[in-house]
Amino acid sequence: MDHEAYLEMAAAEARHWWFRGRRAVLRATIRRLNLPPGARILELGSGTGGNLEMLAEFGSVTAVELNETARAISLTKAGSRQDVRAGALPNDLPLDGETFDLICLFDVLEHIEEDDATLVVIRRHLAPGGRVVVTVPAFQSLWGPHDVALHHKRRYEKAELARKLAAAGLIAIKFSFINMFLFPPALLVRLADRLRRQPAASFTQTPPWLVNEVFAALFGIERLLLRWVDLPIGLSLLAVLAAAPPSPLAGDAK
pTM: predicted TM-score of the whole model, two decimal places: 0.92
What is the chain's alpha carbon radius of gyration, rounded to the nearest angstrom? 18
Q: What is the CATH number assigned to the segment(s) 3-243?
A: 3.40.50.150
Sheet holding 236-243, edge to edge: 83-86, 59-65, 39-44, 100-106, 126-137, 236-243, 170-178
User: With bands split at pLDDT 50, 70 and 90, how would you rate the model's confidence at 205?
Assistant: confident
Q: Where do the structural domains in the chain lie, given as residue ranges?
A: 3-243
User: Does residue 191 carry a pLDDT above 80?
Assistant: no
Residues 6+ apart with CB under 8 A from 119: 109, 164, 165, 167, 168, 170
Tell me: pLDDT of 4 over 80. no
Amino acid at 92: D
> What share of the chain has pLDDT > 70, as a percent?
90
pLDDT confidence bin for 199, thresholds 50/70/90: low
User: Model confidence over 17-73: pLDDT tens digits?
Assistant: 999 999 999 999 999 999 999 999 999 999 999 999 999 999 999 999 999 999 999
> Confidence band (pLDDT; 50, 70, 90) for 197?
low
Contact 165/241 with Cβ under 8 angstroms?
yes
Cα–Cα separations (whole angstroms), residue 87 to 43, 75, 197, 200, 201: 12, 15, 36, 28, 28
pLDDT of 79: 57
Mention every residue, 6+ apart, whose C-beta is less than 8 A from residue 118: 89, 90, 109, 112
DSSP 8-state class, residue 111: G
pLDDT at 201 > cutoff 70: no
Beta bridge partners of 242: 171
| 239 has pLDDT over 80 | yes
Supply the mean pLDDT for the chain.
Answer: 90
35 and 59 Cβ atoms separated by less than 8 Å: yes
Interhelix angle 17-31/209-220, nearest 10 degrees: 20
What confidence score (pLDDT) does residue 187 get? 86
